[in-house]
C-alpha cells in the first residue's frame, strides 16, 4: 500500500509528498486558521485523503495535494507529521 511506504520513508526523514517550502509554510500557519480550514473543508479533505490512500505512487499523491489551496495543503502537512510522530512514538523511536 502506497500510504504505508510513504510513512516508512517519512520515518527515515524522506518526506515525498511535500517540499521543504510547503512544510516550512505549514508550520508557520496559525493553528486556529488551520482548524477553521478543517471544519470548512472537511469533506474535500476526506475525499483527497481517500484518493491519496488509493493512489499507486507518490507522484499522483503530490499532484492531488498540489491542486489544493495552500491552507488545505498545510492541514495535510500537519496531519502527515502527526501520524508520523505517533508511529515513531509507538515504536519508541526519537522524533526528528
Burial class (CB in 10 A: 0-12, 13-18, 19+), 2: middle
pTM of the predicted protein model: 0.87
Which pLDDT score is estimated for 71?
A: 95
For 7-54, how does the pLDDT look when each residue is reduced to its tens digit (9 = 90+)? 888 999 999 999 999 999 999 999 999 999 999 999 999 999 888 888
pLDDT over 90 at 55, yes or no: no
Amino acid at each position: 500500500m502506497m500510504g504505508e511506504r510513504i510513512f516508512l520513508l517519512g520515518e527515515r526523514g524522506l518526506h515525498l509528498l511535500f517540499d521543504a517550502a510547503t512544510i516550512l509554510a505549514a508550520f508557520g500557519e496559525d493553528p486556529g486558521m488551520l482548524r477553521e480550514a478543517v471544519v470548512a473543508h472537511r469533506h474535500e479533505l476526506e475525499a483527497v485523503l481517500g484518493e491519496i490512500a488509493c493512489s499507486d505512487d507518490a507522484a499522483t499523491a503530490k499532484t492531488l495535494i498540489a491542486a489544493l489551496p495552500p491552507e488545505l495543503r498545510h492541514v495535510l502537512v500537519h496531519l502527515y507529521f502527526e501520524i508520523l510522530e505517533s508511529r515513531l512514538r509507538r515504536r519508541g523511536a526519537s522524533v526528528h
